[in-house]
Structure 1
Amino acid sequence: MLRPRSLVGLALVGLLCAPALASGGDVYSYVDGDGVVHFSNAPNDPRYRRVNRTRSGGGVYRSGPQARARPVAASADRYTQWRAHVASAAARYALPEALLLAVMSVESNFDHRAVSEKGAMGLMQLMPGTAKDMYVSDAWDPSQNIDGGARYLRILANQYQGDLVKTLAAYNAGPEAVRRAGGDVPNIPETREYVRKVVALYEAYKAGK
């Protein structure tokens, strides 16, 4: 069973809601010369490009067995080497470090070489199309991969007004699957289990376990 969304929202809505983006219509983004990411639903700069949020089948593929973690927090030495990248991406996209660690744990078990049977790559298991949309030129580079996954989580969090459960469901199954489910978690056992695992790990990392 998933945790009640009301309980999850109490802990996370403030962290996941900013910076705000429109929840409907197209979203555009670009990275300026200082590395700052800009988002808009009314682009007024030629550098903006549309972010694809509704690719059928999901922008991030559900990890295969070789890249699926158990729903327990990994020991610190499993992710210490990625901690600086996680901290940077978390600060850049206003996301909790614990959330990025939880997603990374379930997606790849902190293996930067992980690849799914459908071609999702690296620590955050980015599909090639999603990597391109998130300005990731080398999905095997841990820093770029973490940044791309965090960027996509931020877009989804804004799309779902900070609702952690919907954000994770869309990261796993794709926004289109969430839309077809009436804006709720799709009735896909793997997606429901994925959300449960990530939320459990998020709570564990927050508690320092």
Structure 2
Amino acid sequence: MVVTMFIGGLLAQPAGAQVLEIGADGAVTRFAGPAVFTDDGAKALIQETVVADVSNGADAVRQQISTAANAYALDPKLVEAVAWRESRFHTGALSAKGAIGVMQLMPGTARDLGVDPHDPVQNIRGGALYLRRMMSAFGGDVRLALAAYNAGPAAVRKHGGVPPYAETQAYVTSILGRMATTGAVLAVPVLGAPQ
């Protein structure tokens, strides 16, 4: 009896972790704050506002990637390959280091780019802008730009190329491999590309 009451008391407490609920129709509901979960479903204690609609999944993400790539004079296949490697197109992705969303922007980077990393459209736009900045900083060298996207431009400069970090080397190899299978153009030098 005491155990039942104790467990019942625990179950009635608000949860504090981020929880994703996937409906039968594939719709994803994210509970980022306190929520109560019962047999009748989940109810957020604080209602979250929708910041962007990418409910059509990968197709909507691909469309946003194409739009952002074109805005920053990047090959859409390059931006798509980065997004795939970063998050597998999951808008709610959160890395152990705190990177957020489809193109895994760190909060400070998102702030510097002037985007809301929790808004999928802004996140993708910010990721494309950051990739464009890395392409410009490294003279259009895709390998170095990818390494800088992953490890930071300071690490690329320090090592005079792709840093000898296993994670970064695997990252660059993975994206270039994906690019090779899609037939994308790797380097598109564009004068006057948006910064």
Which band: TM-score by shorter chain?
A: 0.5 to 0.7
Structure-2 separation of matches of 1:140 and 1:205 = 29
1:70-125 CA deviation, whole Å, 9 max, x = no partner? xxxxxxx9621212211110111000110111001110011111111111000000
Q: Bigger relative contact order, structure 1 or 2, given CA contacts below 8 A and separation 6+?
A: 1
Corresponding pairs, count: 129
From 147, 156, 162, the counterpart of 2:134: 156
SS of residue paired to 1:124: coil
Q: 4+ residue stretches of structure 1 with deviation over 3 A?
A: none
What is aligned with 2:175?
A: 198
TM superposition score normalised by structure 1: 0.59
Q: Is the 8 A contact 1:101 1:202 kept in 2?
A: no
From 115, 119, 122, the counterpart of 2:94: 115
Structure-1 separation of matches of 2:171 and 2:90 = 18
Q: Give the drift of 1:196.
A: 0.3
Aligned-residue sequence identity (percent) comes to: 47
Q: 2:164 matched to 1:184? A: no
1:141-199 CA deviation, whole Å, 9 max, x = no partner? 11100000000000110011100000000000001111110x20100011000000011
What is aligned with 1:134?
A: 113
What is aligned with 1:87?
A: 66
SS of residue paired to 2:89: coil
Structure-2 separation of matches of 1:96 and 1:83 = 13
Q: Is the 8 A contact 1:102 1:205 kept in 2?
A: no
Comparing 79-88 with 121-130, greater Cα deviation is found at 79-88
TM superposition score normalised by structure 2: 0.63
Structure-2 separation of matches of 1:193 and 1:134 = 26
Q: CA RMSD in A?
A: 1.4
User: Unaligned stretches of 5+ in structure 2?
Assistant: 1-55, 185-195
Q: Considering only CA atoms, is the larger Rg found in Structure 1 or Structure 2?
A: 2
Structure-2 separation of matches of 1:79 and 1:202 = 18
Structure-1 separation of matches of 2:175 and 2:95 = 18
The 5 Å alignment of 1:97-116 reads 97-116=76-95
Structure-2 separation of matches of 1:140 and 1:202 = 27
Q: Is the 8 A contact 1:101 1:205 kept in 2?
A: no
